[in-house]
Amino acid sequence: MSSASAKAQQRAKFEQVFTVIRDELIAHHAGSGMPKEATEWFKQNLDYNVPGGKLNRGLSVVDTVEILKGRTLTDDEYFKSAVLGWCVELLQAFFLVSDDIMDSSVTRRGQPCWFRKEKVGLIAINDSFLLESAIYHLLKKHFRQEKYYVDLLELFHDTSYQTEYGQLLDLITAPEDAVDLDKFSLERHRLIVVYKTAFYSFYLPVALAMRVCNIPSIDGPSDPYAFASSILIPLGTYFQIQDDFLDFSAPPEILGKIGTDIIDNKCSWCINVALAHASPTQRAVLDANYGQKNAESEAKVKEVFEQVGIREKYATYEEGVYKEIISLIETIPSQGSKEGLKREVFKSFLDKIYKRQK
């Protein structure tokens, strides 16, 4: 079987679990005495916003449990791992629905943003709350009897809080309608990325899998969760910097979308590197053109990016961070240890990211 067809099968199996948990959520909603109209709305909210993305975060939970156990999962183990994976996807949906309102976005995943749909509007704010609350209903239903139940609750609560820190920082640093490049810096960019992306996209799926596999926390420097975070947060940062670079450099036909970070006034890695290396003349060009809604201004900004050597600087960064992450991974003994961790958990993430083109 080709890797593409294996991946498609893996996704299809995972999506079957979404149907089960969606139906559980709908049955609970209807069973609470909600009228049919409200239950149908909730179902549309779930179907429209949860299953449509790449599902990388959710699938990572299942993959990591399988790597840590070192064998094929039983049906019950697979189902529980997939439920947690879908809880991560519900968290992602909660963030995206609300983020699109804050950003006044138009499309998401190739379709109109949920709040742009006819009759939805600002009801989408409450819909995002429902997506988040669904996580805790599912955790209670499927994991309340497990000794690690409270650990799961804390992981979701802590990660939500961290991501909201990052969202606040992003919103006050780079509002679309008020460009102020003095607010930008590589350190500000790092903080936004760590809090807004890395915790929920990289640390959360692995930490959930570790809990399911009964890997305990340990007080002190040998805590496996702190060690996992020390690899996964730099990995998540690398992923976002790569995303920022591809938004500028990748042709739309390869990237699958048109890059908009420059016209959207995003506090991206590219603009921060350019600001750090720009001459006064180049800085004046960036100040005059960054975040402007026209192709001419965007082209002038891209010209400065090329002049300061963004492509070379990114290539140097990528090689450096790859070596740094590999060296951290290799501190785990090849047969696995570091209190139950395995190299392959982290290597599988790194292999998906390194040198990707889209």
Active-site residue flag, 76? no
| Burial annotation 172-182 (CB, 10 A radius, 16+ → b, else e) | ebbeeeebebe
Residue 111, beta-bridge partner list: 108
Average pLDDT, the chain: 93
Beta carbons within 8 Å of 47's beta carbon, 6+ residues apart? 22
* Active-site pick, 100, 243, 247, 261: 243
Cα–Cα distance for residue pair 68/341, rounded to 1 Å: 7
Mean pLDDT across the stretch 127-154?
98
The four Cα atoms 154, 157, 159, 162 give a dihedral, to 10 degrees, of -120
- Between 104 and 55, the higher pLDDT residue: 55
pLDDT tens digits, residue range 45-58?
999 999 988 899 99
Cα–Cα distance for residue pair 25/47, rounded to 1 Å: 12
Task: Quickly count helices (H) and strands (E) in the chain.
Answer: 15, 2
Active-site residue flag, 103? yes
Query: Is residue 183 very low, low, confident or very high in pLDDT (cuts 50, 70, 90)?
Result: very high
* Active-site pick, 244, 261, 266, 313: 244
- Between 5 and 206, the higher pLDDT residue: 206
Active-site residue flag, 54? yes
Domains of the chain: 1-145 (1.10.600.10), 154-357 (1.10.600.10)
pLDDT of residue 175: 84
Active-site residue flag, 196? yes
- Asked if residue 146 has pLDDT above 80, the reply is yes
Report how far apart the first and last C-alpha atoms of the chain are (Å, whole number).
Answer: 24
pLDDT of residue 334: 73
- Asked if residue 260 has pLDDT above 90, the reply is no
DSSP 107: E
Ramachandran area for residue 107 (φ above 0: left; ψ -120 to 50: alpha; else beta): beta
Cα–Cα distance for residue pair 182/275, rounded to 1 Å: 9
Mean pLDDT across the stretch 194-219?
95
pLDDT tens digits, residue range 267-296?
999 999 999 999 999 999 999 999 998 999
Active-site residue flag, 99? yes
pLDDT of residue 227: 93
* Active-site pick, 63, 99, 100, 261: 99
Active-site residue flag, 349? no
* Active-site pick, 80, 196, 266, 342: 196
Q: Over pLDDT 70: what percentage of the chain?
A: 98
Active-site residue flag, 108? yes
Active-site residue flag, 43? no
Q: Over pLDDT 90: what percentage of the chain?
A: 82
